[in-house]
Structure 1
Amino acid sequence: MSLIAKTPNPPYYAVIFTSHLSDDDEGYEDMAGKMIALASDQPGFIGIESAREGLGITVSYWSDLDSIKNWKANLEHAEAQRLGREKWYSSFKTRISRVERDYGV
């Protein structure tokens, strides 16, 4: 996986997930890998970027809000969300934004 997601010309959407892991993160890395693979197969998925050094930040990119809504409702993803709330995260925040402009080299 590329470190920087290849995104189309805007507009598109970004789901920004920021988290702190709890002391009990057993199984987290395996599930995170499964969720990246599963998200990659969802309609409307564009790409993903992730970093964790104490604070974890994962940004997934989507073509439209319906695709994000469908991903949130995916049964396997819902189970991962439940485990995250109950076991893996001491805190987290999800933000959804529309990308109006991007640039880089």
Structure 2
Amino acid sequence: MSESRFARTPEPPYYAVIFSSQRTEGDQGYGAMADHMVALASEQPGFLGVESARDASGFGITVSYWDSLEAIAHWKAHAHHQQAQSLGKSAWYEHFETRISKVERAYGSDLKA
């Protein structure tokens, strides 16, 4: 697995927004909007990184990392993000869950090194 798929986060504490979703059939502009949202989020103050995966059935999990609850709130309220949220509810998702947690400990290893 490519290391670039892993978010490079600082030493904890920081916050994770865990977005689990089941997609509807067809793209309907979803891919382009998802790419745009990642690019836009990466420009926001407090953004630390993102990791995302989706399986063949359309179930996916995206985890974005932030330095504060305030940064998360600002991102949630961003006008373009609100537009994407609205489209998600009306066209792209059958079901979704959002969870916010504080990361207090993190560790890993590059086993190929």
Counterpart Cα distance in 2 of 1:15 and 1:25 = 24
Q: 1:76 is matched with which residue: 76, 80, 92?
A: 80
Deviation at 1:25, TM superposition (A): 3.2
Structure 1 unpaired stretches of 5+: none
Residue in 2 that maps onto 1:100 = 104
- Which secondary structure does the structure 2 equivalent of 1:91 belong to? strand
Q: How does 1:1-105 map to 2 (within 5 A)?
A: 2-53=4-55, 54=57, 55-105=59-109
Deviation at 1:24, TM superposition (A): 4.4
TM-score, with structure 2 as normaliser: 0.90
- Cα RMSD between the aligned structures? 1.1
Q: Deviations over 1:58-99 (max 9, x none)?
A: 000000000000000000000000000011000000000000
Structure 2 unpaired stretches of 5+: none
Q: Give the total of aligned pairs.
A: 105
